[in-house]
Every structure is written in structure tokens, then in C-alpha cells.
Structure 1
Amino acid sequence: MAFEKIKENTDELQDRAKEYIDANIAYYKLYGFKIAMKSTTLMLKLFLLGIMLVIVTLFFSIALALAIGYGLDNFAYGFLIVGGIYFVLAILVYYVQDKIVEGPILRTFSKMLFKKY
């Protein structure tokens, strides 16, 4: 009799442990899905914003090159000056790229992953 009671308690304990493990697995699957979706939508938003900024920059660059070209009476010089400005900016971005890109991305994803609920 005592052994049957112990066996029943052990079976119940095993069932409860299995339910607990299944619930944890379901929770972490859902949590992983949430993180994946947030990061995917963030990347998509940044991609679309980047495309819009490239288009705006392209048109402003052409307008600036034409304005400088009108001022110098030579459109080639205008485009060369604008190209030189972008070359200098590219060199500056190359030297500070880790501070610009790595830090904010780590901060954003750290907030997303380690948020306490």
C-alpha cells in the first residue's frame, strides 16, 4: 500500500515535470519567435529608410553638382567637387565605422534580448 502511494506520487511528479518542461519549451519558442520578428521588422524598416535616404541624397547631390557647375561655368568641376566631398566623407566613415555601427546595433539588440518581463 505504501509503495503504491509512493508510485502514484512519483508518476504525478513525472507528469508535472513533463508539463513544466513542455510549458518552458513553448515559452522559449514563442520568445525566440518574438525576437526574430522584432529583429526582422527592424532590419526591414532600416533597409527601407536607407533606400529613401539614398534616393534623397542622390537628388540633392545632383542638384548641388549642377549648382556648383553653374557657378564655375563647368559642370564637370561641379560633379568632381561633389565626388570629392563624398570621398572625404567615405574616408571619415571608414575610420569611425565601429563607433557608428557596432555600438548602436549592440545596444538595440541587447535591449530586445535581455528585456525583463
Structure 2
Amino acid sequence: MAYDELKRDLTEADADVRSYLEHSEEYFKLKVFKVLMGSVTAAAKALLVGAATLVALLMLSFAASYAFGLVLGSNYQGFLIVGLFYVLVAILCYLFRDKLDTPLLRKFSDYFF
């Protein structure tokens, strides 16, 4: 009789462990899906906003180049001024690139963990 109870308890424990493992696997899959979809949607939004901003910046750059060209009497000089401005911005971004690491690491660690 004690043997039958022990056997029944072990069978129930085995079933409980198997059920727990199956549910844990499902939960893990859902958690991974949630994190991945959050990352994908954030990347898609960033890409969309970035593309729109890039097109707007391109149009504003052409407008500024032609405006400088009208003032200076040469479109070439207008485009040269705008181009040099972007070179200056690129140099500043390169010089301060290390200060950008910390905020990015914090932001992505919030998403990851």
C-alpha cells in the first residue's frame, strides 16, 4: 500500500514537472517574441522617422545652397558653404563620439534587460 502511494505521488510529481517545463518553455517563447517585436517595431519607427528627416534635411540643404548662391552670385559657392557646414558637423560628431556611447548603452540595456 505504501508502495502504491509512493508510486502515485512520483507519477503526479513527474506530470507536474513536465507541465511546468512545457509552460515555462511557452512563457519563454512569448517573452522572446515580445522583446523581438518591440525591437523590430522600434527599428521600423526609427527608420521611417530617419528617412523622413533625411529627405527634409536634403531639401533644406538644397534651399540653403541656392539661397547662399543667390547672395554670393554663384551656386557653386552656395553648395560649397553648405558642404563645408556638413563637414564641420561630421568632424564635431567624430570628436564627441565617445560621449554618445554612455546614453546609447543605457537606453539599449533598458530594452534588453
The residue type paired with residue 110 of structure 1 is S
Question: Taking every aligned residue pair, what percent have the same amino acid on both sides?
Answer: 36
Change (3 A) 1:98 1:43: farther
Aligned partner of 1:111 in structure 2 is 110
Aligned partner of 1:68 in structure 2 is 68
The residue type paired with residue 38 of structure 1 is G
Alpha-carbon RMSD across the aligned residues, in angstroms, is 1.4
The residue type paired with residue 85 of structure 1 is F
Provide the aligned length of Structure 1 versus Structure 2: 113
Alpha-carbon distance between aligned partners in 2 of 1:112 and 1:26, rounded to the nearest angstrom: 21
Alpha-carbon distance between aligned partners in 1 of 2:98 and 2:34, rounded to the nearest angstrom: 28
Alpha-carbon distance between aligned partners in 1 of 2:98 and 2:33, rounded to the nearest angstrom: 29
Change (3 A) 1:28 1:98: farther
Aligned partner of 1:3 in structure 2 is 3
* Unmatched 5+ stretches in structure 1: none
Aligned partner of 2:56 in structure 1 is 56
The residue type paired with residue 112 of structure 1 is Y
Structure 1 length as normaliser, TM-score? 0.89
1:36 aligns with 2:36: yes
Give the CA deviation at 1:7.
0.9
Give the secondary-structure state (helix, strand or coil) at the position aligned to 2:96: helix
Give the CA deviation at 1:99.
3.1
Alpha-carbon distance between aligned partners in 2 of 1:112 and 1:33, rounded to the nearest angstrom: 13
Structure 2 length as normaliser, TM-score? 0.92
Aligned partner of 2:87 in structure 1 is 87
Alpha-carbon distance between aligned partners in 2 of 1:34 and 1:40, rounded to the nearest angstrom: 10
The residue type paired with residue 113 of structure 1 is F
Give the CA deviation at 1:87.
0.5
Alpha-carbon distance between aligned partners in 1 of 2:108 and 2:17, rounded to the nearest angstrom: 33
Which aligned runs of 4 or more in structure 1 are off by greater than 2 angstroms? 95-100, 102-114
